[in-house]
Amino acid sequence: MSKDGDSEPKLPIQQLAILAIARFSEPIAYTSIYPYVPDMIRSFGVAENDIASWAGLISGAFSLAQSLAAVPWSGAADRYGRKPILIIGLLSTMTCFVVWSLSKSLAMAITVRIIQGGSNGNKFVPEKKLQPRAFSIMPIVWSLGSVIGPAFGGFFAEPAKRFPDLFGRIPFFITFPYALPNLLASIFFLISTFSVTFFLKETLVTKRDRDDWGLQVGQRLTRVFSRRRAQIGRNGGGEGPSTYDGGDVMTPASRPATNTAAGANTQAAWAEVLTYQTMLALFSYSFLFFHSVSFDQNISVFLSTPVIPRTPDNYRPPFYFNGGFGLDPGTIGTIFVIYGITSAAIQFIVYPVLVTRFGVLCTFHVCSIFLPIVYCATPYASLFTSARVRFAAIVVVMLLKAFCLIMSFPSTTILFNNSCRSLRVLSSVNGLATMMSGIFRAVGPASTGRVFTWGAHHGYIISAYFFLGAAAALGAIPGFLIVEGDGPTAAEERAEVEAAAEGGEGSGSPRCDDERRPLMARR
């Protein structure tokens, strides 16, 4: 192995795994309410046709608070350290998650949801050269969490009714029918907090060398439960037990030239961040969040809306008709589980094959064309007279939506990151994407809920889904103007090699390897 290779940071598998575990709790908190939130709002005494508006507001309040809290949380993390802020965020989010399930009014539900979103606005950022790999892992984690969340929400909601032999005589679950799924899902928050506290290393330079009692306890636990690893740590003469693969890989002290260059360019110029291609990719990415999150939130309301008997006054297709599917939270949760498992399978199995065959840009273009059609077709699944056929039809529609979105999200992520010309601005660009997507995730469900309510009042149940179809068509336009970039590759590599040569440090030269290639090779 070359010296260059020795100086390149290794992939900290265990550290990134801990970050993934911590991230895993967010989609659970966000998606687990989907199956039962319509029934919960209905229990507050809200009129049937107004449920969608309030459901959209609850979902939007969470995302907006999360987006607004991102900057203050980042400032606190830069001052006090990333690890303690992450722990605080996990614990406060878990607490709000449980308290929200005890809500007995709209005011309490919205207030707690806002606090929960604000508590969930912090992110843990690894060392700069490892950020591209971390950013590529998180969408997969979100997909997996989106499978677990609705499963908990749908299966365990209203346990006194669903499992009367077990919970029917417990007053707590009769009074708070939506507490059980959140209590069980809190286990994931506890696992995340435990992993972060005892095994995650601080990445903030100014706080990295301070004593960390959590890591010290984690090392002792490792010695107790893994004698072999403790023996390797003693024989290797390293800093500690081999609990962490590449334990110091987040400390780039062995690369002084690279650090000097990075330190001189801490604040990227906005002109370098907001390039034309980056903005096109950013708007495509944000619009995907707008209509996909809106659909996932609103479809649960549509599925729970009662079936309305057809009369000449309320049924004049193809546009004038009303009513939904009349499904209970358990059945809605089952649909979301099928939807989530299929999404994960598409992401892991189908997506790599299609992208390798047709390329990132082509795949994104085709799916962008079909998404508006899928959205507009959704309300027509309720027109079948047979309940089984209606169920099969909506599952097919949701699977088509899952296919198009799973093809689109990784593609836009790749196009977005490859629009960056330098790794130095990658974190700034991803921060901008986090803020923009949060705003779109807030506005989307709230506006879609209002449109759905209007349509339910006036007999046009199709209105919300035609609205989403229009949003998807609008969001697809920037995608057809994108020119796929190569990402931060050769140009930056040459510049850093020259900087390293001027500094007299050969060890600062990066390899043209994983961290210097674009995230997806251009076809």
Average pLDDT of every residue of the chain: 79
Taking residues 317-322, report their average pLDDT: 92
What percent of the chain has pLDDT above 70? 75
Q: Could you tell me if 301 and 53 are in contact, meaning their C-beta atoms sit under 8 angstroms apart?
A: no
Return the percent helix, strand and coil in the chain, to nearest 5.
75, 0, 25
Q: Could you tell me if 374 and 404 are in contact, meaning their C-beta atoms sit under 8 angstroms apart?
A: yes
Q: What is the pLDDT at residue 269? A: 57
Check residues 427 and 419 and name the one with the higher pLDDT. 419
**CA trace torsion 25, 28, 30, 36 (10° rounding):** -150
pLDDT in tens, 442-469: 899 999 999 999 999 999 999 999 999 9
Integer Rg of the chain from CA: 25
Taking residues 42-52, report their average pLDDT: 93
Check whether 249 has a pLDDT greater than 90.
no
CB atoms closer than 10 angstroms to residue 237: 6
Tokens of 41: 């709002």
Q: Could you tell me if 91 and 212 are in contact, meaning their C-beta atoms sit under 8 angstroms apart?
A: no
Question: How many Cα atoms within 13 Å fall on the side-chain side of residue 183?
Answer: 12
Closest CA to 327 of 173, 154, 165: 154
Taking residues 233-255, report their average pLDDT: 38
The position carrying tokens 């919300």 is 464
Q: What is the pLDDT at residue 386? A: 93
Q: What is the pLDDT at residue 223? A: 78
Check whether 252 has a pLDDT greater than 70.
no
What are the C-alpha distances in Å from 516 to residues 233, 308, 382, 420, 502? 31, 58, 50, 12, 21
Taking residues 252-258, report their average pLDDT: 37
Taking residues 46-52, report their average pLDDT: 92
Check whether 84 has a pLDDT greater than 70.
yes
Q: How confident is the model at residue 11 (pLDDT cuts 50, 70, 90)?
A: low
List, in order of start, the domains of the chain with CATH numbers: 11-207+278-307+317-479 (1.20.1250.20), 209-249 (no CATH)
Q: How confident is the model at residue 321 (pLDDT cuts 50, 70, 90)?
A: very high
Q: Could you tell me if 102 and 176 are in contact, meaning their C-beta atoms sit under 8 angstroms apart?
A: yes
Tokens of 179: 């507490």
The position carrying tokens 């836009």 is 412
Q: What is the pLDDT at residue 59? A: 86
d(CA 278, CA 283): 9
Check whether 271 has a pLDDT greater than 80.
no
Taking residues 81-92, report their average pLDDT: 87
Q: Could you tell me if 418 and 485 are in contact, meaning their C-beta atoms sit under 8 angstroms apart?
A: yes
Name residue 399's amino acid: L
Question: How many Cα atoms within 13 Å fall on the side-chain side of residue 523?
Answer: 11
Check residues 391 and 145 and name the one with the higher pLDDT. 391
d(CA 291, CA 371): 10
Sequence-distant (6+) residues with CB within 8 A of 449 are 52, 53, 54, 55, 56, 57, 59, 60, 297, 298, 301, 464
d(CA 120, CA 142): 14
Q: What angle do CA 384, 386, 389 make, to 5 degrees?
A: 70
d(CA 392, CA 189): 34
Check whether 523 has a pLDDT greater than 50.
no
Check residues 138 and 523 and name the one with the higher pLDDT. 138
3-state secondary structure of 320: strand
